[in-house]
Structure 1
């Protein structure tokens, strides 16, 4: 089998050759998934990559309806937040696997509604650089 016969990774097909380029793409993708699910993108975000982990810290603008729900019944808004986070994790994992060919072991996400901050940790099967 020659070098021409080896399949390229999804990152190669996207023209991503550095962690910096990957971070920029992940910022766009994270924001796009947020926009698709919540109708609102993120205000600001930072992506860090360390070994087999991707960390995204994001400042969100709270969906107005959820803020209103929180004032009426915090239990209902917490439940809504839980299922929205669960949906986000499913969508983001699917995107990472299909677009980049990442082997995602798990995604952890938490959201602080008062501070409008979220932390997302994506754990891969191998070092992120191995996918480039």
Structure 2
């Protein structure tokens, strides 16, 4: 399969109505909006830039973030507490993003992996689906 650029994530076993999405390009645009919306809801800040690649049953989102000012300050006081806060915020993000992907797209998500480098303000999110993304369109 060829790699395609986009952003999204998904989970669930229900089959959502994706009839309004006619191509992988349109899906990627929707996923970019969805990723940013979930990020804004959890962190209060949208992403600066993001790139999504789709290959078969995997979706990769690389995003440049603005560091939440309170977490930056907290890191200066106690980096352990700041790392713990990052961990739970990422855990919450993965949960919310998975719910959205299942409800909106009907994706059957096997797993979501996400990591964040606070110094570089970059995150990588990998969504692994049960089937090829094209099977959901």
TM-score past 0.5 threshold: yes
Identify the residue that residue 5 of structure 1 maps to in structure 2.
none
Identify the residue that residue 130 of structure 1 maps to in structure 2.
135
2:25 paired with 1:20: yes
Q: How many residues align?
A: 123
User: Which structure has the bigger radius of gyration?
Assistant: 1
2:54 paired with 1:88: no
RMSD: 0.9
The SS at the match of 1:115 is coil
- Which one of 32, 39, 43 corresponds to residue 38 of structure 1? 43
Identify the residue that residue 116 of structure 1 maps to in structure 2.
121
In the TM superposition, what is the alpha-carbon distance from 1:62 to its structure 2 partner? 0.3
Unaligned runs of 5+ in 1: 1-7
In the TM superposition, what is the alpha-carbon distance from 1:17 to its structure 2 partner? 1.4
CA distance in 2, matches of 1:9, 1:111: 30
When you count helix as a share of all residues, which structure comes out higher? 1
CA distance in 2, matches of 1:128, 1:107: 15
TM-score (norm 2): 0.88
Runs of 4+ that moved beyond 4 A:
none
Larger relative contact order, structure 1 or 2 (CA cutoff 8 Å, min sep 6): 2
In the TM superposition, what is the alpha-carbon distance from 1:9 to its structure 2 partner? 4.7
Unaligned runs of 5+ in 2: 1-14
